[in-house]
Amino acid sequence: MAQVRDHYLHHVPAGTEAAIIVQDGEWTTLYFPDVVVKGLGFNRISSQIAQVLGTWVIGYRIFAWQGMDVHYFNDATHVDQLAYARNDIEFEPENATLFADIADVSTIVPRRADQHPLDFHFALLEALGVRNAAVTWDKARGLGGTILTAA
């Protein structure tokens, strides 16, 4: 929670509900309202938290006009092979070894030719154990997580 406050909430007006933290298995998922996400240097901050905590951080935003922007970070590594924007995945992985230390995603990677990149990312997140990736801010409020208010 300290990492979230330090890195994500410094630009949010005091008293604003700024994040919901939900623990689900080995993953911690953070949900942010639009007012918070619009002010973030999202990839830079995700990268910093991944390095500080020495863990995986998967940062994604869903846009009505674009689809999804998702980047995967592992410790000090930006796993740019999976960066996604508009309707394409940049440098798609050809095998599942990238995630071998956290989950078997061999049924997901590589992406089927008939699978939309957005569907691929949601399937990959679910295979990794992130089950509520598509949940909106309003739905996240019902997951029983901890709501963080900006200081």
What pLDDT is stored for residue 123 in this prediction? 92
Q: Give the separation between CA 7 and CA 1, rounded to whole angstroms.
A: 10
What pLDDT is stored for residue 64 in this prediction? 66
3-class DSSP state of 18: strand
Domain range enclosing 60: 2-149
Q: What is the pLDDT of residues 100-138, one digit of tens each?
A: 999 999 999 999 999 988 888 889 999 999 988 888 889
pLDDT of the chain, 151 residues: tens digit per residue: 777 777 778 778 888 888 999 998 889 999 988 878 777 777 888 898 899 989 999 988 877 666 677 889 999 998 866 877 667 787 788 899 989 999 999 999 999 999 988 888 889 999 999 988 888 889 999 998 999 988 8
* The residue type at 145: G
Q: Is 129 left (phi over 0), alpha (psi -120 to 50) or beta?
A: left
Q: CA Rg, the chain, in Å?
A: 15
Q: Give the separation between CA 150 and CA 29, rounded to whole angstroms.
A: 18
Query: Are 84 and 121 spatial neighbours (Cβ–Cβ below 8 Å)?
Result: yes
